[in-house]
Amino acid sequence: MQRVCVFCGSSLGVRPAYAEAAQQLGRILAESGRELVYGGGRVGLMGVVADAALAAGGRVIGVIPEGMVRREVAHQGLSDLKVVTSMHERKATMAALADGFIALPGGIGTLDELFEIWGWGQLGLHAKPLGFLDVEHYYRDLMLFLDHVAEEGFMRTRHRAMVAVEPEPEALLAAMAGFEMPETIWDSEIGRR
């Protein structure tokens, strides 16, 4: 993974550990020679991860819809800022640029981004690793729910296992490095579990 797309909140959240993890991830990506791809904002965890990667000498590519640039949330100090027309184009551009995807804590937008990428993976539209950085057990209940989804037959267990979940950036990157794409839902008869 030479380029890692990080999905995260435009807020900092209530726990200092979230910003600390974003800062650590940005620094680790830069120090390991990986480029950061993200949503292009200067606010919240987005700004923290970008600033940390830049401070460590990393290359940071932001992708932001033009409407958000007009609201003055675009980070102006990036290596490359790509301005796109819509949120759909933003997600497609980030997906095309990245070799892997990590979700830091975030809200609906963060979940939307990672779940769309995850869905594309199970359909075989890409074979890139995915991960949740589970800072302070932020994603614990979501993971339990996804286990329930698989147990109830609405997700194949091999697709539930597609995403790595770790509390520390180094462990998450190591788990993602060992990613092997499972069969897609089209590689076997639909409905077979």
* Residue 123 covered by a domain: yes
* Residue 191 covered by a domain: no
Q: Tell me what pLDDT residue 133 has.
A: 98
Q: Tell me what pLDDT residue 25 has.
A: 98
> What are the strands, taking DSSP E only, across the chain?
3-7, 35-38, 60-65, 80-84, 100-103, 130-133, 163-166
**With a threshold of 0.75, does the pTM exceed it?**
yes
For residue range 38-78, list pLDDT tens digits in order: 999 999 999 999 999 999 999 999 999 999 997 879 999 99
The Cα–Cα gap between 120 and 95 comes to 10
* Residue 74 covered by a domain: yes
Per-residue pLDDT for 189 more than 90? no
Q: Is 9 helix (H, G, I), strand (E, B) or coil?
A: coil
Evaluate whether 98 touches 3 at the Cβ level (below 8 Å).
yes
List the domain range (segments joined by +) for residue 146. 3-177
**Least trusted range by pLDDT, from 12-16, 70-74, 103-107, 121-125:** 70-74
| CATH number, position 10 | 3.40.50.450
* Residue 187 covered by a domain: no
**pLDDT average, residue stretch 85-108:** 96
* Residue 193 covered by a domain: no
Task: Work out the pLDDT band at 180, boundaries 50, 70, 90.
Answer: confident
Q: Tell me what pLDDT residue 34 has.
A: 98
Domain count across the chain = 1
Supply the DSSP string of 121-150, one letter for each residue. HHTTS----EEEE-GGGTTHHHHHHHHHHH
Exposure string for 91-109, b = 16+ CB within 10 A, e = fewer: bebbbeebbbbbbbbbeeb
For residue range 146-179, list pLDDT tens digits in order: 999 999 999 888 888 889 999 999 999 999 998 8
* Residue 171 covered by a domain: yes
* Residue 183 covered by a domain: no
Per-residue pLDDT for 4 more than 90? yes
Per-residue pLDDT for 192 more than 50? no
Q: Tell me what pLDDT residue 183 has.
A: 73
* Residue 182 covered by a domain: no
